[in-house]
Amino acid sequence: MTGLANHRCVVYAGARRLTLGTAEPTPPPAGHVRVDVAYTGICGTDLRIFHGDMDGRVDPPRVIGHEMSGRIAQVGPDVREWWPGDQVTIMPLIRCGGCPACRAGHPHLCHRLIFLGIDAPGSLQNSWTVPASALVRLPLEARLDHAALAEPTAVAVHAVRRAGLRPGEKAIVVGGGPTGLLVAIVARRTGADVLLVEADPHRTSVAEELGLRTLDPSGDRLALVVGEWTAGAGAAVAFEVSGLAAGVATAVDALAVRGRMAQVAVHPAPREISLPRLLSRELTLVGACLYDRADFETAVGLIADGDVPARTLISRIEPLERAAQAFDALDAGMGVMKVLVDCRAD
């Protein structure tokens, strides 16, 4: 059905309030397409919005959601190379094109970046109109539920690239939520020897199901285990994906001489970091924020080829009407990894 029947959407209305709304669809303007959304994944950023922590940017009421898959329903004027029925995901970044970051070739760090689903309407709706420049093609064989993991997988691909991870290196990943697991999976596929640090037993069990080596940091075994694993040297790379102050310390302490720490998680506040350690080991600290188009296309390829164990990472799929319950389940924290919302119109 590609007509313009009213479609349903999930609206963030203010802290801890999600409402189900209807929207009157309009035909896509020039340079835009209307996408029938299939699935939208919920992530930590969506949860921060849900908590009201990003109201300054989100400006409710706002349809949120940015990790998605779908099919093109309608193509606006002046759109070439895209057709109704094409399977797509969307890289949810709109750059300005003129700021110093854009001009330097880093559009994902645009000073005036518009993030779809945060600064502009998102994908938790049956039908989403977006600029054609944001589309990323999905291969015919890609499953739409799995393809909703493209965006967080692109974060992982970017992080591994920013860390300069090389085959054979030892890499510690601090934090075993969906992004941490994806970083660990991409790092392992690069040929690194990966150790995942996570205390939550459900997250640890998912990681072990995926064949990842895990370590609970809550005891005092961390230094011992890392020491044994690396013959006393420490890890070449540490990915900080926990967003916790303790995670920063864990990552820094685990690094070898000339080790690299990639900061992947969003921290809600400034954190302390041991500068004596940074100095004495000549550590490098790199930020890994979002992704570029090449990272996104790599991520789509990894998913289509089955290199991302999407089946294991997706804990459950809820219908659009139950999006609020899906947020509550994630908020409660225990027992779920990635939750998708089925956004298909019936």
Would you tell me which residues interact with Zn ion (CB under 5 A)?
A: 43, 45, 95-96, 99, 102, 110
Distance, CA of 236 to CA of 256 (rounded, Å): 6
**In the bound complex, what is the minimum distance in angstroms from residue 68's beta carbon to Zn ion?**
10
- HSE-CB at 314 with a 13 A cutoff on CA atoms is 24
Nearer to Zn ion, 32 or 95 (CB): 95
Distance, CA of 5 to CA of 186 (rounded, Å): 41
Residue with tokens 């302390």: 272
**In the bound complex, what is the minimum distance in angstroms from residue 171's beta carbon to Zn ion?**
22
Is the CB of residue 247 less than 8 Å from the CB of residue 271?
Answer: no
Nearer to Zn ion, 45 or 205 (CB): 45
**Helix residue ranges, H only, 190-339:** 201-209, 222-229, 245-254, 275-280, 293-304, 310-313, 323-332
**In the bound complex, what is the minimum distance in angstroms from residue 231's beta carbon to Zn ion?**
37
Q: Which residues pair with 87 in a beta bridge?
A: 71
**In the bound complex, what is the minimum distance in angstroms from residue 100's beta carbon to Zn ion?**
8
**In the bound complex, what is the minimum distance in angstroms from residue 102's beta carbon to Zn ion?**
3
Distance, CA of 69 to CA of 88 (rounded, Å): 6
Nearer to Zn ion, 154 or 283 (CB): 154
Nearer to Zn ion, 49 or 222 (CB): 49
Is residue 337 helix, strand or coil?
Answer: coil
Nearer to Zn ion, 102 or 330 (CB): 102
- HSE-CB at 23 with a 13 A cutoff on CA atoms is 22
Is residue 68 helix, strand or coil?
Answer: strand
Residue with tokens 């706002």: 62
**In the bound complex, what is the minimum distance in angstroms from residue 228's beta carbon to Zn ion?**
35
Distance, CA of 66 to CA of 72 (rounded, Å): 16
Nearer to Zn ion, 169 or 342 (CB): 342
Tokens representing residue 249 in the block: 């310390």
**In the bound complex, what is the minimum distance in angstroms from residue 182's beta carbon to Zn ion?**
11
* Residues 6 or more apart in contact with residue 294 via CB below 8 angstroms: none
Nearer to Zn ion, 79 or 148 (CB): 148
* Residues 6 or more apart in contact with residue 133 via CB below 8 angstroms: 31, 94
The angle at the Cα of 306, spanning 159 to 175, to the nearest 5 degrees, equals 35
Nearer to Zn ion, 158 or 170 (CB): 158
**In the bound complex, what is the minimum distance in angstroms from residue 111's beta carbon to Zn ion?**
5
- Report the length, in residues, of the chain: 346
**In the bound complex, what is the minimum distance in angstroms from residue 338's beta carbon to Zn ion?**
10
Nearer to Zn ion, 99 or 120 (CB): 99
